């Protein structure tokens, strides 16, 4: 194992969040403990996501941005895993969304390029829009400001490839699910929301007419694996889909979940008007992928792991 120097750190932005905290854990499992978490802990419940992680240092997001701009950091950065973002797809404040997801990301990427630091970042399959069944680079049609902020940064990152001497890799996540989503509220994955409902009253609430909507659900550990692989690659540039490569209908998904809970059923509710125009009917990361033949976690297995973790983690805030 490579010697660890604590002045040579891996920075994980959004490191107290759902995916970010699992990236921290994934780095730990590779023997990397010199991890700096950058996040906004206004919601202190997110510390539960880091309880099982080894963290060398923490810095607030605003302070980190300031120090990046004035080139005054207390450590040398070995690699960036940029997971931090505003992820509320229903948010309409474009100014806040663009400042956090686009402008902030540009500042970090500029620093990474200047210092030749590998930069792996989270993009989103939301950039493909509502009715897109191809979902390959060049077919983007973002339907909300969140998706647009991710798309625009993808475009910017691609424009910087020619200047970079180190990796710039964007990972377009499909529908990621797993433990540690508690702080996300209504922005949890559909699977976690459905399990919440089942544990509350044995009922899944499904929008009318959405039975045959299809989603590519990818288990969080598979996403973490791709992040850690990318951080270890030789200098390379690219933008890739990260999914299970399998689209499953809500009917199939809810059938799996209902089989786990005795006397459970579906209740159909009206489709909220505000969501109809931006609700993706189909997602599938089966093109332009980085994972190739790597075995992925099946939905059945992922659901079993998630339910077990929820039962065993006494300090897990749902």
Tens-place pLDDT, residues 246-292:
999 999 999 999 999 999 999 999 988 877 777 888 999 877 766 55
Q: What is the mean pLDDT of residues 63-81?
A: 96
Please tell me if the domain spanning 8-175+217-242 has the same topology as the one spanning 182-216+245-282+297-312.
Answer: no
Q: Which CATH architecture has domain 182-216+245-282+297-312?
A: Alpha-Beta Complex (3.90)
pTM score of the predicted model: 0.92
* 300 Cβ contact partners less than 8 Å away, ≥ 6 residues apart: 256
The pLDDT value given to residue 292: 53
For residue 289, the cross-strand partners are 241
In 3D space, the residue among 212, 206, 193 whose CA is nearest the CA of residue 271 turns out to be: 206
Domain ranges of the chain: 8-175+217-242, 182-216+245-282+297-312
**Helices within 162-317 (DSSP H only):** 190-201, 220-231, 250-258, 273-276, 299-312
Tens digits of residue pLDDT in 79-119: 999 999 998 888 889 999 999 999 999 999 999 999 999 99
Residues tagged active-site: 146, 184
The pLDDT value given to residue 5: 45
Enter the tokens of residue 27.
């780095």
Q: Which CATH architecture has domain 8-175+217-242?
A: 3-Layer(aba) Sandwich (3.40)
Enter the tokens of residue 33.
């403990």
Residue 315 scores a pLDDT above 90: no
């Amino acid at each position: 194992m490579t010697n660890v120097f604590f002045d040579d750190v891996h920075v994980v932005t959004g490191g107290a969040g759902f995916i970010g905290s699992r990236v921290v854990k994934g780095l730990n499992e590779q023997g990397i403990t010199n991890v700096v978490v950058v996040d906004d802990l206004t919601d202190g419940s997110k510390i539960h996501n880091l309880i099982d992680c080894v963290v060398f240092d923490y810095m607030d997001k605003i302070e980190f941005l300031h120090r990046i701009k004035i080139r005054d950091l207390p450590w040398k950065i070995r690699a960036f895993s940029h997971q931090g973002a505003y992820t509320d797809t229903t948010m309409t404040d474009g100014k806040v969304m663009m400042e956090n997801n686009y402008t902030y990301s540009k500042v970090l990427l500029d620093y990474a390029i200047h210092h030749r630091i590998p930069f792996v970042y989270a993009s989103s399959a939301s950039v493909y829009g509502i009715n897109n069944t191809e979902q390959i680079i060049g077919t983007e049609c973002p339907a909300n400001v969140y998706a647009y902020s991710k798309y625009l940064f993808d475009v910017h990152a691609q424009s910087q490839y020619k200047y970079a001497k180190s990796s710039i890799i964007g990972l377009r996540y499909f529908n990621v699910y797993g433990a540690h989503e508690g702080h996300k509220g209504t922005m949890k994955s559909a699977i976690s929301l459905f399990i919440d409902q089942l544990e509350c009253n044995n009922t899944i609430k499904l929008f009318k007419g959405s039975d045959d909507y299809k989603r590519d659900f990818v288990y969080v550990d598979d996403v973490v694996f791709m992040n850690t692989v990318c951080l270890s690659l030789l200098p390379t540039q690219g933008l890739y889909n990260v999914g299970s490569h399998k689209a499953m209908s809500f009917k199939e998904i809810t059938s799996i979940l209902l089989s786990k809970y005795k006397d459970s059923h579906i209740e159909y509710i009206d489709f909220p008007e505000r969501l109809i125009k931006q609700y993706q009917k189909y997602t599938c990361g089966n093109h332009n992928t980085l994972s190739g033949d790597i075995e992925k976690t099946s939905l059945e297995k992922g659901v079993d792991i998630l339910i077990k973790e929820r039962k065993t983690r006494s300090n897990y805030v749902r």
